Structure 1
Amino acid sequence: MADHLDHHTHNTSVKRHSRPSSSSDQRSSKKHSFNQEKLARNGFSAITLPISLCGN
């Protein structure tokens, strides 16, 4: 019976560990969004630069 109780506690521990994993996914998504923004900014600079060169 004590063994079953210990197993139940382990299950709860796994459930609790699954929660921060979701938070980690959110952080990963935020990081990806930031990378996309950075990429878009770099792409914008790359597009604007030739236009400035052509203007000169």
Structure 2
Amino acid sequence: MFGLGTQELIIILILVLIVFGAGKLPQVGSALGKGLRNFKQGMKDDDAEGKKREVEEKKDE
């Protein structure tokens, strides 16, 4: 899709280490993981609400 190879990923990792430093890298990873988890949960909740509305609309008909 984006064509990221091994060399590109290594360059990105080096840039992240330079910007954030090795000490803060676990904190950055943790925050990123929590953000992704919250995003997935929000998408799942939104999908469930949409299905619930469809069921209620069918009952009203």
Measured against the shorter chain, the TM-score band is 0.5 to 0.7
Question: RCO (CA 8 Å, sep 6+): is it higher in 1 or 2?
Answer: 2
Structure 1, unpaired ranges of 5+: 1-10
Structure 2, unpaired ranges of 5+: 1-17
* 1:19 alignment counterpart: 26
* 1:50 alignment counterpart: 57
The alpha carbon displacement at 1:48 in A equals 0.7
Q: TM-score, normalised by structure 2?
A: 0.62
Which structure: greater helix fraction?
1
Moved over 3 A (4+): none
The alpha carbon displacement at 1:27 in A equals 0.3
The counterpart of 1:41, out of the listed 48, 54, 58, is 48
Q: Which amino acid aligns with 1:44?
A: K
Q: Which has the larger radius of gyration?
A: 1
The alpha carbon displacement at 1:50 in A equals 0.8
Q: TM-score, normalised by structure 1?
A: 0.67
Q: For the aligned residues, what is the CA RMSD?
A: 1.8
